[in-house]
Structure 1
Amino acid sequence: MKRLLLSTVIASIGMTGVAHAADDVPGVDVSNWTGEIDWPAVVAGGGKFAFVQATEGTNYRNPIFDSQYGGAATAGLIRGAYHFAQPHESDGTAQADYFLQNGGNWVSDGQTLPGVLDLEDNPYQSKNGKNSCYGLSTKDMVTWITDWTKKYYEATGRRAIIYTTTSWWRTCTGDSKKFAVNPLWLARWGSEPGELPKSWKKHTFWQSAEKGPLVGGGNAFNGSESRLKELANPPAEVRVSGRVGGRTSYAVTIANTGPHPVTNVKLSGRAFGGQRVVKAPGCTFSGTAVRCVVKELPRRKKITFVFTTKPRKSKGTVGMNVTVGSVKLTLKAR
């Protein structure tokens, strides 16, 4: 199986502001407690991105989420939503679903970051009687996080960002290594990020202060502004695989495994070994050549083309060379 990355053209809002180091792109995080925000002032102060709390558990939605989230976008910021986890109240799937339905769904607009799962010390210990890990064992916590992130990925095609501290992760997940595919938003207030949880070799975002110089929390993206934009607008992704069904049958599957629908995907193939194509449903063919066009392939969908050939000889190597974009496959039979 091979992978093809396709460029996706999405109009995105231009960004301006005070220059910062290429490896330190500043941003903010806000919630209901932050109140209404002067987003143009955030941009003027050099801010490039914002995280906005959308939900908590399965019964709380930030009452000013729409104005905060929409205001950040209107000002030209790349923005993302986050969910404050309450693992003792309901399972991870249910809370991810609540988040998706209440502002956390990722959209392919070039301006929206993947959603965030906020995991930190239980702030309601005096009310709910649970410990810092919400009363869950490390095994149950890992299961809870797995369920949440799986649901989010299935719904959006994006890997959710995980916000946490190294100490909480070590205590409450046993320093699990199972979430390396999820970008890390590390919370550690101070001058250095410090040691990371074992799942990650680097952080993607760093919250270095509870109150930053702009508004809300002080944050930085670990990379350039172009990489930040790429996180909001990743390339489309198509996986191509082939299967040989004897000397006269060849199948090619094109699967959209990325977050965007893809259009106008072209396949070209040519039989070799002294054979010609005699059947190719959904495609055009002549002699040894075949051409197929996928006008549109939605996210998480796939299509399979089957080609039937007629060899001139009963022995010897035969097959097809197939090209889909930059991916080349050679399917052989004897």
Structure 2
Amino acid sequence: MAKKWISALVCAGLVFVAGQPARAGDSAADGGGYAHAGVAPGLRASATAATAAAPSGYTIKGIDVSSHDHTLGAIDWPAQAAGGVSFAYVKATEGTYYVNPYFDGDNRDAKAAGILVGAYHYARPDKKDPVNEANYFIDHAQWVKDSQTLVPFLDLEWPYGSLNLPACWGLSTAELTGYIRSFANQVQARIGRKLMIYTNTNWWNPCTGNSTAFGDLPLDIAGYTASLPPLPSGWSSTAVWQYAAGNNSQQGNYDKDVFSGDYPALTRLAGGAPASQPPLGLRAWANGKYVTAESGGRNPLIARATELGLWEEYDLVNAGAGFVALRSRSNGKYVTADGGGSKALIANRSTIGLWEEFTLVDNSDGSVSLRAHVNGRYVTADGGGSKALIANRTAIGAWEKFDRYAVPRMVTLKSVGVGNYVTAERAGTAPLIARAAQAGLWEQYDLVDAGHGYVALRSHANNRYVTAESAGTKPLIANRTAVGPWEQFAPVDNPDGTVSLMARVNEKYVTALSGAQLIASGTAVADAQEFQLGS
């Protein structure tokens, strides 16, 4: 994109500080893509910014592109992936009048190269039509509930020059925040996920009146500085940082981003299941065997495994509208009722469509059944489990029932506020505390599905469950042999990829402070209540 750097420009009463970017629009009426009203033609991103290395401490790299980035030819997505790019945002739309003609191809080809991709929309608040604008965006954004599609973002910044509009689009702070909220709410209503906000602090704070009302949305901060710039009002962390501009006169030189977290955390910004939820296994009532995606998912599903392993593990993904999808851990592909339900179930789809959607039925005897969306038939372990699973039954009998087993996942918890791992000291006889510099046996826990959206933590130090002792009034300690309300926690996936744990017993967040034992005492999420989930 054509990015402009402003050294000390006062425009419409706002001061723009050197190193703070503004994204150019790229509609047909752009008139050259100047950064915002009042910027003289000919200003270009500095070569230093365009070639800047990723900031220290950030390992997950990304780019964002628009039609401007096709000036010298197509984007070589396999080369970007080979160069370490893990994610990309591609401009999809602007207002209710422009669709990027390269979006479909970039979205498809980037995903084919193994890159996670999200769509973005250049906002036109001056049109005062946020709901229709949000619908226009989602209609063209190709949002799918899969593991490669990132949540979309709304680009909020200065108008580009040819629009000849004031810096805040001619709106009051109340009008502008109203536009943002209506747009965000409509996107969430359409896709079931919160969108991300892309902005710059020097635009956001004056134009929204320092609004703190949007801190629940993930943030993509734009700031071409050596270290993370000050964040806009309302945010204490950012998911993505656009740290340097590209230069569309140089092939392959695109706007540069980093993600604030590790790769599993990045995947939690995608449409699939949150990484904090353990996978599940299905044991068929027909023969007491586990459903397996044999040969790494190349063969149809069949109930003949005697124990749970990778081929028998599935992520339960919310597909929206009351449906779920099953993603096999054997190959990362979704289970499909192949042939519109006429063929055996097999895990070979990369996205969720009608054939990959199921209704999870909770039976009165504690078992579960799966009804395929495509034909309304129940999945059966045919032939008493001797044949592959197929969705062809009109009623639930023994062959259509499965026990749902959550597969424990080994994790570590690293406190964001303290910077150390949570350890069950003295082999679990001491309360939990965040002061281990490295993760060993005492810092490892099994994440166990406790049902109804709760998990339990079983310490590897002593094989005991972590409890919010005395109904949450005392520090956490791993000393329980069974899971009850005191041992259950609700995992909360934060916008920056971290996880917080809310104790069921008192509905307070587990808090880690330097030198202090962990306790469920937090009433809100800040650094002290955030943990990086490792494995």
Moved over 6 A (4+): 19-22
Q: Secondary structure at the match of 1:171?
A: helix
Give the equivalent residue in structure 1 for 2:188. 153
User: What is the rounded CA distance, in whole Å, between the counterparts of 1:70 and 1:297 in structure 2?
Assistant: 27
Shift in Å, 1:293? 4.3
Which 10-residue stretch deviates more, 257-266 or 207-216?
Answer: 257-266
Give the equivalent residue in structure 1 for 2:111. 73
User: Which one-letter code corresponds to 1:223 in the other structure?
Assistant: G
Give the equivalent residue in structure 2 for 1:180. 215
Q: Equivalences for 1:1-334 in 2 at 5 Å?
A: 23-35=58-70, 36-102=74-140, 104-124=141-161, 127-211=162-246, 215-235=253-273, 260=320, 261-262=323-324, 265=360, 284=364, 291=366, 293=368, 295=370, 324=452
- Call closer, same or farther: CA 1:20–1:173 in 2, change over 3 Å: closer
Q: Which runs of 5+ in 2 are unaligned?
A: 1-53, 278-315, 325-357, 374-450, 456-483, 486-535
- Call closer, same or farther: CA 1:325–1:228 in 2, change over 3 Å: closer
User: What is the rounded CA distance, in whole Å, between the counterparts of 1:93 and 1:186 in structure 2?
Assistant: 24
User: Which one-letter code corresponds to 1:25 in the other structure?
Assistant: I
User: Which one-letter code corresponds to 1:95 in the other structure?
Assistant: E
Q: Secondary structure at the match of 2:127?
A: coil
Contact 2:64 2:88 in 1 (8 A): yes
User: Which one-letter code corresponds to 1:87 in the other structure?
Assistant: P
Where relative contact order (Cα < 8 A, 6+ residues apart) is larger, the structure is 1
Q: Deviation per CA, 1:112-154: give whole Å up to 9, x if none.
A: 0001100011113xx4442011101100000000011000000
Shift in Å, 1:324? 4.6
- Call closer, same or farther: CA 1:191–1:128 in 2, change over 3 Å: same
User: What is the rounded CA distance, in whole Å, between the counterparts of 1:50 and 1:71 in structure 2?
Assistant: 11
Shift in Å, 1:222? 0.6
User: What is the rounded CA distance, in whole Å, between the counterparts of 2:268 and 2:55 in structure 1?
Assistant: 18
Q: Which runs of 5+ in 1 are unaligned?
A: 1-18, 239-255, 268-282, 285-289, 299-322, 330-334
Question: Percent identical across equivalent pairs?
Answer: 35
Q: Secondary structure at the match of 1:88?
A: helix
TM-score between both structures, scaled by the size of structure 1: 0.66
- Call closer, same or farther: CA 1:325–1:97 in 2, change over 3 Å: closer
User: What is the rounded CA distance, in whole Å, between the counterparts of 1:139 and 1:296 in structure 2?
Assistant: 47
Q: Secondary structure at the match of 1:48?
A: strand
- Call closer, same or farther: CA 1:149–1:257 in 2, change over 3 Å: farther
Structural RMSD (CA): 3.1
User: What is the rounded CA distance, in whole Å, between the counterparts of 2:317 and 2:86 in structure 1?
Assistant: 29
Contact 1:180 1:199 in 2 (8 A): yes
User: Which one-letter code corresponds to 1:109 in the other structure?
Assistant: D
Give the equivalent residue in structure 2 for 1:242. none
User: What is the rounded CA distance, in whole Å, between the counterparts of 2:213 and 2:183 in structure 1?
Assistant: 13
TM-score between both structures, scaled by the size of structure 2: 0.42
- Call closer, same or farther: CA 1:296–1:96 in 2, change over 3 Å: farther
What is the number of residues matched between the two proteins? 248
Q: Secondary structure at the match of 2:85?
A: coil
Contact 2:91 2:100 in 1 (8 A): yes
- Call closer, same or farther: CA 1:165–1:49 in 2, change over 3 Å: same
User: What is the rounded CA distance, in whole Å, between the counterparts of 2:167 and 2:199 in structure 1?
Assistant: 13
Contact 1:157 1:258 in 2 (8 A): no
User: What is the rounded CA distance, in whole Å, between the counterparts of 1:185 and 1:297 in structure 2?
Assistant: 38
Contact 2:61 2:257 in 1 (8 A): yes
Contact 1:157 1:259 in 2 (8 A): no
